[in-house]
């Protein structure tokens, strides 16, 4: 629903839906970044108002929110985030360079500072590239467009980014990529490009296939590079969305033609002949009428 509101520029609905989603899931957090970079101020305002209303409604349960925020602040430092069950960018960088006797005894190297730097640099690069694409992309509503456009691909990239940069993405969380996968499938069908289909199929196999990424054999040393297929598939989908958004062609503006009733149609030879015959017939009929009926 938020995707439909996004592509149709329904600011009120979009802000409200993102606020409701934010109460339950943080995976849509980077869609807010897209709104900011595209200067959609009305949607941001509507979302802020909806978020305040929701917080006021849930104020009696504030202790639960306080516990959640406390947990969130220390989430990235918990050593169990380094296990391969978490298919995230944080888990990958922690698994390679941060050792823990229980959760990650055999990293590639015991260099936690390097792991932290790699995580921050990679996350910053992913966010920065997505924000740059959103800033440079001309924003236009696609209210009447059934085709997938660059706006849809950008929305899909934002959803993907929220998942792979989350510290808590397990295998079942990757069901959130059904929407980006659908958008890319529709886009590939429009483009009829076998290379897009090939990359999309590869990414979906990495995400959906039951690969042994939790095997202890892949938890030691450089073998861990093979233990994050879902993360690699998500990154491939993200890159494909942004790359293909540059290949998108602008659609005609919505309602760019005046209504049929107000538009003069060109007169064809056949229409002129019919009108001439009709006038001749009416003249003949009126000539045969008695004088007092004329």
- Token pair belonging to 105: 């005894």
pLDDT value, residue 16? 84
Model confidence, pTM: 0.76
**Distance between CA 242 and CA 256 in Å, rounded?**
28
User: How many C-beta atoms lie closer than 10 Å to residue 257's C-beta?
Assistant: 9
Higher pLDDT, 212 or 291: 212
Q: Is the pLDDT of residue 165 over 90?
A: yes
pLDDT value, residue 255? 37
pLDDT value, residue 39? 87
Q: Is the pLDDT of residue 93 over 80?
A: yes
**Distance between CA 190 and CA 39 in Å, rounded?**
29
pLDDT value, residue 257? 38
pLDDT value, residue 159? 93
pLDDT value, residue 259? 40
Per-residue pLDDT band for 64 (boundaries 50, 70, 90) equals confident
pLDDT tens for residues 228-277?
A: 999 999 999 999 999 998 875 444 443 333 344 444 444 455 556 656 66
Per-residue pLDDT band for 94 (boundaries 50, 70, 90) equals very high
What is the chain's mean pLDDT, rounded? 81
Lowest mean pLDDT among 16-25, 50-59, 134-143: 134-143
Per-residue pLDDT band for 204 (boundaries 50, 70, 90) equals very high
Angle at CA of residue 8, ends 6 and 12, nearest 5°: 65
User: How many C-beta atoms lie closer than 10 Å to residue 194's C-beta?
Assistant: 9
pLDDT tens for residues 97-110?
A: 999 889 999 999 99
pLDDT tens for residues 178-188?
A: 999 999 999 99
Per mean pLDDT, which of 19-23, 38-42, 57-61, 284-288 is the most reliable?
38-42
Q: Is the pLDDT of residue 282 over 90?
A: no
State percent of the chain over pLDDT 90: 36
**Distance between CA 87 and CA 268 in Å, rounded?**
66
pLDDT value, residue 157? 94
CA 58, 64, 67, 72 torsion-angle sign: negative
């Amino acid at each position: 629903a938020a995707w439909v509101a996004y592509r149709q520029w329904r600011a009120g609905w979009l802000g409200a839906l993102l606020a409701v989603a934010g109460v339950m899931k943080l995976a849509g957090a980077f869609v807010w970044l897209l709104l900011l970079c595209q200067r959609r101020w009305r949607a941001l305002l509507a979302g802020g108002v909806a978020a305040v209303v929701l917080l006021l409604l849930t104020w009696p349960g504030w202790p639960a929110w306080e516990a959640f925020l406390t947990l969130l602040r220390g989430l990235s430092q918990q050593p169990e985030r380094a296990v391969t069950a978490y298919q995230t960018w944080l888990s990958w960088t922690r698994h390679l360079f941060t050792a823990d006797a229980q959760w990650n005894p055999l990293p590639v190297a015991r260099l936690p500072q390097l792991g932290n730097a790699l995580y921050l640099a990679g996350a910053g690069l992913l966010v920065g590239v997505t924000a740059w694409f959103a800033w440079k992309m001309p924003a236009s509503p696609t209210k009447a467009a059934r085709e997938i456009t660059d706006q849809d691909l950008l929305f899909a990239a934002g959803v993907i980014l929220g998942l792979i940069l989350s510290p808590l993405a397990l295998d079942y969380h990757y069901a959130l990529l059904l929407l980006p996968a659908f958008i890319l499938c529709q886009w590939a069908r429009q483009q009829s490009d076998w290379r897009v289909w090939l990359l999309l199929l590869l990414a979906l196999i990495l995400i959906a296939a039951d690969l042994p990424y939790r095997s202890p054999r892949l938890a030691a040393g450089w073998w861990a590079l093979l233990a994050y297929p879902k993360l690699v598939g998500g990154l491939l989908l993200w890159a494909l969305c942004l790359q293909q958004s540059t290949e998108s062609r602008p659609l005609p503006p919505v309602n760019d033609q005046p209504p049929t009733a107000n538009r003069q149609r060109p007169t064809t030879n056949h229409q002129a002949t019919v009108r001439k015959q009709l006038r001749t017939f009416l003249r003949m009929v009126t000539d045969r009428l008695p004088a007092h009926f004329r």
